[in-house]
C-alpha cells in the first residue's frame, strides 16, 4: 500500500497531537512543517523530528510528497491556507473554527466539495467511543422523544489577565473567543449526538476580563501568563456566555461557555433528556456514560469494548478498565479522515463520525447567530445556514 505524506502548517499547542495521531496510523509519513518564520519552523521540526521545515506555507502545499495538509494555524489564516491547499488538490484536515465567519466557511466548504478531496474539521470530541455509544442509543430510539439538550464547556486557562494570545485579538482570532473556540465544540457535539439541528438561539455574552496584558508574544493555549514587561490591550470578545436553544424538532436546550472559571480545566458536559431515559457525558470523565431513568436505578456504562455497541467498539483501543483519553479520541477522528482518503474520499463513503467542512461551516453559522442575537440585545435569532 502506498504510504501517504502529511504536511502540517502552524505548529502550536495542538500540532503535536496531529503529528502523534498520523504517526500512530503507521502508514503515513510526516513530511514537512511550516511555521511563521524559518527559525520557528526549524525549531518545531527538530522538536517533532520532521526532516523538512518551511517558512512559507505555500512550500508545504507545493511539496509533491505531501498528500494531506493539516491546518493548525490561528483562525485568520484558515481561509487562505485551506483554499491554497484545496486549489492544489490536497486533502485537508483543519482545526476549528473552520473560518472567521460563515461566508468564508461556506466558500471553503464549496471549494472542498468541488475539489473532490477529503475534508475534515477537528471536532475531536466526536471521536470518543462513549460519545458514539450515546449517538447510537439516541438514533435507535432508546431515549424516546428528546425534550432537553443542555450542558456547558468551561475552562480556566484565560483567568490570568497576563494570558494574551491571537485568540483575544479580533483581527487574528475573529469576533468571538469562548463561543468560537469551545462553544463550537459543544454545539457540534450536541447536534451530532442528538441528531437534531439547532433552529434558533438567544445569547447573553460577557467579557469578564476586558483588559489583558500582552508581552508581544502570542501565548499557546493552556500556557501560563508569565511576568515579562507587558502592554495593556482592551479585549472585547466574550470569555463567558450562556445561550438558550430551540431545536428544529421542538426540543429545547441551553449551554454555557467560559474561559475564565477557576478550577474548570477542560470541562465539557453534554446531557440529553428523552421520554424514556437520559444520557450524560463529561469530557473530564470520558470513560463513563451516565444513563438516567425515572422508574429504575440509574446506571453508568463504562468504556468497555465488550459492553458498547459495535459502532462504538471500533473507537476503543483498550479493554475495560484501561482508561483512554483526549489523544485517543483525537486519533479516532484523524484515523477516520485517513480511512476516507484511502477509500477515495467519495462523499457516500465518509465515515458517519467524521466532521467535515459542512459541519465546520454549520458551526460558523451557529456562532454567528449567537453573536447577532447578543448584539441585538439578547433576542431570538434564527440560524442562517445553506446546506451543500
Binding site for ligand SOE (CB under 6 A): 13, 155, 181-182, 185, 221, 266
Q: Nearest distance from residue 77's CB to ligand SOE, in Å? A: 15
Q: Nearest distance from residue 123's CB to ligand SOE, in Å? A: 9
Closest among 41, 55, 32, 31 to 11, alpha carbons compared:
41
CA 353/CA 350 separation, integer angstroms? 8
Closest among 316, 345, 357, 297 to 104, alpha carbons compared:
357
Q: Which is nearer to ligand SOE, 14 or 302 (CB)?
A: 14
Q: Which is nearer to ligand SOE, 185 or 192 (CB)?
A: 185
Neighbours of 255 (CB within 10 A): 23
Q: Which is nearer to ligand SOE, 91 or 96 (CB)?
A: 96
288: its cell numbers:
463513563
Q: Which is nearer to ligand SOE, 15 or 117 (CB)?
A: 15
Q: Nearest distance from residue 270's CB to ligand SOE, in Å? A: 14
- SS3 state at 260: coil
Q: Is the peptide bond preceding residue 97 cis, with omega within 30 degrees of 0? A: yes
Q: Nearest distance from residue 155's CB to ligand SOE, in Å? A: 6
Q: Which residue is nearest to ligand SOE (CB)?
A: 221
Q: Which is nearer to ligand SOE, 13 or 293 (CB)?
A: 13
Q: Nearest distance from residue 180's CB to ligand SOE, in Å? A: 9
CA 387/CA 109 separation, integer angstroms? 10
Angle at 308 between CA 307 and CA 312, to 5 degrees: 155
Closest among 231, 157, 149 to 191, alpha carbons compared:
149
Q: Nearest distance from residue 144's CB to ligand SOE, in Å? A: 31
Q: Which is nearer to ligand SOE, 155 or 335 (CB)?
A: 155
Amino acid at each position: 500500500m502506498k504510504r501517504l505524506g502529511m504536511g502540517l502548517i502552524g505548529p502550536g499547542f495542538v500540532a503535536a497531537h496531529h503529528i502523534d495521531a498520523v504517526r500512530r496510523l503507521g502508514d503515513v509519513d510526516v513530511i514537512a512543517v511550516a511555521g511563521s518564520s524559518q527559525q520557528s519552523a526549524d525549531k518545531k521540526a527538530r522538536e517533532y523530528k520532521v526532516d523538512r521545515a518551511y517558512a512559507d506555507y505555500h512550500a508545504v502545499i507545493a511539496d509533491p510528497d505531501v498528500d494531506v495538509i493539516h491546518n493548525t494555524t490561528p483562525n485568520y489564516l484558515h481561509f487562505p491556507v485551506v483554499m491554497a491547499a484545496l486549489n492544489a488538490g490536497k486533502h485537508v484536515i483543519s482545526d476549528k473554527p473552520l473560518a472567521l465567519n460563515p461566508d468564508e466557511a461556506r466558500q471553503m466548504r464549496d471549494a472542498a466539495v468541488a475539489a473532490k478531496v477529503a475534508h475534515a474539521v477537528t471536532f475531536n470530541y466526536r471521536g470518543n467511543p462513549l460519545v458514539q455509544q450515546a449517538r447510537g442509543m439516541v438514533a435507535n430510539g432508546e431515549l424516546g422523544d428528546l425534550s432537553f439538550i443542555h450542558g456547558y464547556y468551561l475552562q480556566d486557562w484565560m483567568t490570568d489577565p497576563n494570558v494574551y494570545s491571537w485568540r483575544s485579538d479580533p483581527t487574528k482570532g475573529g469576533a468571538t473567543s469562548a463561543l468560537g473556540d469551545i462553544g463550537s465544540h459543544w454545539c457540534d457535539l450536541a447536534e451530532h449526538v442528538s441528531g437534531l439541528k439547532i433552529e434558533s438561539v438567544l445569547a447573553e455574552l460577557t467579557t469578564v476580563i476586558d483588559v489583558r496584558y500582552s508581552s508581544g508574544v502570542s501565548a499557546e493555549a493552556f500556557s501560563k501568563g508569565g511576568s515579562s514587561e507587558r502592554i495593556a490591550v482592551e479585549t472585547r470578545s466574550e470569555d463567558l456566555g450562556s445561550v438558550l436553544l430551540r431545536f428544529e424538532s421542538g426540543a429545547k436546550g441551553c449551554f454555557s461557555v467560559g474561559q475564565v472559571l477557576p478550577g474548570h480545566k477542560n470541562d465539557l458536559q453534554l446531557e440529553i433528556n428523552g421520554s424514556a431515559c437520559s444520557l450524560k457525558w463529561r469530557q473530564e470523565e470520558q470513560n463513563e456514560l451516565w444513563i438516567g431513568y425515572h422508574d429504575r436505578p440509574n446506571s453508568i456504562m463504562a468504556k468497555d469494548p465488550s459492553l458498547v455497541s459495535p459502532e462504538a467498539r471500533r473507537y476503543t483501543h483498550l479493554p475495560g478498565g484501561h482508561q483512554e483519553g483526549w489523544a485517543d479520541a483525537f486519533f479516532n477522528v484523524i484515523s477516520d479522515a485517513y480511512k476516507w482518503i484511502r477509500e477515495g474520499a467519495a462523499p457516500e463513503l465518509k465515515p458517519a463520525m467524521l466532521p467535515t467542512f459542512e459541519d465546520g461551516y454549520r458551526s460558523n453559522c451557529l456562532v454567528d447567530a449567537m453573536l447577532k442575537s447578543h448584539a441585538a440585545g439578547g433576542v431570538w435569532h434564527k440560524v442562517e445556514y445553506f446546506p451543500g
